[in-house]
A and B are shown apart, each in its own frame.
Chain A
Amino acid sequence: MQHPPEGDAVPAAVEVRGLRKEFDGKVAVEGVDLTIPRGSFYGLVGPNGAGKTTSLSMITGLLRPDAGTVTVAGYDVWQDPYEAKHRIGILPDGLRLFERLSGRELLRYTGRLRELPAPDTEARAEELLDVLGLTEAGDKLVVDYSTGMRKKIGLAAALLHNPPVLFLDEPFESVDPVSAETIREVLRQYTATGSTVVFSSHVMELVAALCTHVAILAKGRVIADGTLDEVRAGRSLNERFMELVGTPAGKAKGGSLAWLGSSSG
């Protein structure tokens, strides 16, 4: 029930066409098209304000687009939310969690909202807590969690119903190296079985190390996308990104800020 019907002709896990969103007359996302192959580890990179979070919110059904269509696992997110929402796992950025639940209770609540059978929820929750190193903290309230623990419990909640497609908004931001490695390992295992991960980040090294596919977003548009090797075109992803997005770092080289560091204070 969690994978597309037999004979499904749609090859992509996620299809995004002409996605657009304005906030008070200011365009945040301006016609984004993406084709995310099934089983891929897809990185969405871009500078701050490029529209990554807005795009991911619209793709996962949390923010209504002004225009455009999103299909996840063959189901239109905005026309057929009943089928689509079932196939989506989300770790959003900048949204609250239920702070007064313990980590374990949060997973149970999520499992019940997802209508999973109770024994399945219980078994999966314990396994996820164990793998993510949260067993000890399982009975602590989320309000007392560190940022890394929050990301991990959020990831556990997103994985609980074993969705075919997982969307993660900045899963590694403010996460310590140990937790980050744990998250990476869980995601590798998840994609190895044919499931799809889409995540946003601005850490190029991480994206280059993890992803099979990349899309670069800037000013609400996709300016490059494809397999990692196609996008970086023989250079490092960081170099390619700077070249495409443009960098003001040149200004600093050109003699501005001459006063900086010369003072003896």
Chain B
Amino acid sequence: MVGVFVGLKLALLRSSLRRSTARAVGFVAGTVISVAGACYAAVGLALGQGEPDAPDVAVLAFAGLAVAWLVLPLSFGAGGDESSDPTRLAVLPVRPRRLIAGATASALIGPGPLCTLVLITGAVVGAAEGALGSFSAALVTVLAVPLMLLLCVVASRALLASFARALTGRRGKDAAALGGVLTAVGGYAAYLLLTTAGSGLALPPLVVRVLRWTPPGWPADAIRAAADGRTATALLELAGTAALIALLMVWWHASLARLMTTTDSSTAQAVKVRAGRTTGLRARLLTSSRTLLVAHHQFSAFARSPRHRMTMIAALAYALLFPVVMAAVGMRTPYAAVGGAWVFGLTVPGVLFALDGSAIWSNVATLRTVAHARAELVGRLLPQLVVIAPWLTAVATGVALVSGRTDQLAAALGVSFALLGVTFAMGMAISVFHPYPYPEDPWSVSAPGQSGGYHLANFLSSILGVVAVVPVIAGAIALNGSVFLWLLLPLGTAYGLLAVLVTLRTMGRRLFDKAPEILTTLRMS
């Protein structure tokens, strides 16, 4: 059964990559970059060997990995892994133990587990000072690696299976999406705090002590215990980890058995919405201006579709958290709002076409002029702007007031608006040249690696966006302290607006010409 599952996983991966060269390149590039990142972090962790806090770092790293494995698949699906859905085997006579063994084996394949393995190895090496002194200590150290990896993977799958029914229902997806965003935002805050906290690890010792007693802390602490000669403690901790993995497997199997024999949520009660009035001024406006019509439609998508809402809430939260965390570590200036503007840029391609996917066929079917195409672009960006511009202004003003740097407020907003305009422009270009369909159902897609190329392009373009606002940043530096610093507000805003208008001209034309091709790409979701 293990062989069958592994073969299935590899076959799914291969065939999804074979569908398009761009996807294959994106997947490979994404994997290489993430593994390289993991190696870099792992080397950092390993080089900490001998530092007094190295064992604490290992505890923290293990706890972080465990949380990531529990939270990320819940909010973003199991990494597009159809083989992680054993309910597909419901009609086959497979014994529970073999089913779980097979599913575990297939879950261990992929870039995610590979990166995790690299990170665990790094953390273990970092914590392993003196662990090679005795055979038992060395054994504990070596065993800690696979046990920790198994703990992550099995806990993640068990949790996913137990929530699967709730997650496949519409409301469940809505809730998971929102919960995922909040957790991701919280994790981001924790990450920022940890990485910017200055010299090494500034966590209170109490936190580490508590984490050491949580399950992911056991294998990490076992290494230190073994190195200190407390072999019994070390073995107990490893045995505890193994027992927990076994328990999680039992839970996993029980959830699967329940999943296979109960109804899904397709019979759930439907939601009714009341359509507003359709005559009068609003109706006339929406009929006469395609820009307003598309913007209105987009607003209702933010109100009703959890994935639209999720992108927006996440961006708003990041924009707020970034300056707060920056202030916490000493960067007390409204310029921190610029980070928020950058994050908003990353959401633009999603908002333009990716979230709607092939549903935009009805817009394509009515795209009769280039002006219509420009209206599609402006209409989809307008609600973004209406929400973002006041939000950034409020955040920057708040930071300026709290930090007492109101003199920098106008300039900070100028740079923010310039960056916002440039990232909007980049987002338009990405959407039109490299459209990407978000999978319709992230919990049951069979195409791992679809998104690698898109996210890479989006990320690189946002870096390029920062380069493009260098003139404005240079202006801010040049005028720093001068009485003309406020000039950056109108200049920066104009710069951003110009970037949007120039791009809109060319991208509107391109969208009109290439709408069928864009639809063909979006159809592949």
Contacts and interface: CB of A to CB of B under 8 A. Distances in A.
Interface of A: 60-64, 81-82, 85-86, 88, 90, 92, 94-102, 104-105, 108-119, 121-122, 138-141, 143-144, 157
Contact of B440 (A96, A105, A115): A96
Interface string B368-403: 110000000000000000000000000000000000
Nearest to A120: B287
B278 A116 contact: no
Contacts, number: 109
Interface in B309-345: none
A139 B276 CA distance: 11
Given A61-B365, A116-B287, A139 B520 contact: no
A20 B79 CA distance: 37
Secondary structure at the B interface, as helix, strand, loop or mixed, is: helix
Interface residues of B, number: 39
A85 B356 contact: no
B281 to A, nearest CB: 10
28 contacts: A61-B364, A61-B365, A62-B364, A62-B516, A82-B368, A85-B366, A92-B361, A95-B361, A96-B356, A97-B362, A98-B297, A99-B305, A99-B359, A100-B301, A105-B273, A105-B300, A108-B278, A109-B293, A110-B362, A113-B293, A116-B287, A118-B284, A118-B287, A122-B278, A122-B279, A139-B272, A139-B273, A140-B272
Given A81-B368, A122-B278, 9 more contacts: A62-B364, A95-B361, A98-B301, A98-B356, A100-B305, A108-B278, A111-B287, A112-B287, A118-B284
B523 interface: yes
A141 B365 contact: no
B279 A95 contact: no
B362 A141 contact: no
B283 interface: yes
Nearest to B271: A141
A139 B275 contact: yes
A86 B368 contact: yes
Interface string B266-295: 000011111100110001101100100100
B479 to A, nearest CB: 46
Contacts of B272: 102, 139-140
Contacts of B287: 111-112, 115-118, 121
A191 to B, nearest CB: 21
B362 A100 contact: no
Nearest to A144: B270
Contacts of A140: 270-273
A113 B366 contact: yes
Given A90-B365, A117-B287, A141-B304, A96 B357 contact: yes
A64 B357 contact: no
A144 B268 CA distance: 9
Given A100-B300, A112-B286, A141-B304, A63 B520 contact: yes
Nearest to B283: A118
Nearest to B513: A64
B519 interface: yes
Most chain A Cβ neighbours within 10 Å, of B290, B363, B523: B523
Contacts of B517: 64
A110 B365 CA distance: 10
